[in-house]
C-alpha cells in the first residue's frame, strides 16, 4: 500500500520552499506542504517559474494563502497562476 497520494486539489493554505536535491530535473526541487498541518503534499522536480505556475494552475483552485519566501520567481509564478492570494 502506497502512502503517497497524487494531489488532486491543494488546500486553501499552502507553504512552498526549495531544497537542494540534485536530480536530473535540476539542482533544486520545490516542496509543497499544507500550511496548517505542515504535512508535505508534493514535490516538484525543479523550482522553475513555469513548473510552479502550471502545477498551481492545475491544482490550486482553492488556494487563498501561500506561505513562502519572497523569491521573485516564486511570487511571479504564484500570482500568475492564482491571481492575488495572500502571500
In the predicted model, what is the mean pLDDT of residues 5-9? Answer: 88
20-74 pLDDT per residue, tens:
987 787 789 999 999 999 999 999 999 999 999 999 999 999 999 999 998 899 9
Contact present, 34 and 58 (Cβ < 8 Å): no
The dihedral region occupied by 83, where left means phi > 0, alpha psi between -120 and 50, and beta the remainder, is: left
Would the pLDDT of 2 be above 60?
no
| Confidence at residue 21, expressed as pLDDT on a 0 to 100 scale | 87
DSSP alpha helix (H) spans, the chain: 49-59, 72-82
pTM comes to 0.89
pLDDT band at 4 (very low <50, low <70, confident <90, very high): low
Amino acid at each position: 500500500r502506497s502512502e503517497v497520494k497524487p494531489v488532486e486539489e491543494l488546500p486553501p493554505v499552502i507553504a512552498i520552499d526549495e531544497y537542494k536535491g540534485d536530480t536530473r530535473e535540476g539542482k533544486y526541487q520545490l516542496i509543497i506542504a499544507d500550511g496548517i498541518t505542515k504535512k508535505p503534499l508534493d514535490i516538484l522536480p525543479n523550482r522553475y517559474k513555469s513548473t510552479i505556475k502550471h502545477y498551481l494552475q492545475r491544482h490550486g483552485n482553492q488556494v487563498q494563502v501561500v506561505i513562502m519566501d519572497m523569491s521573485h520567481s516564486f511570487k511571479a509564478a504564484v500570482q500568475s497562476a492564482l491571481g492575488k492570494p495572500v502571500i
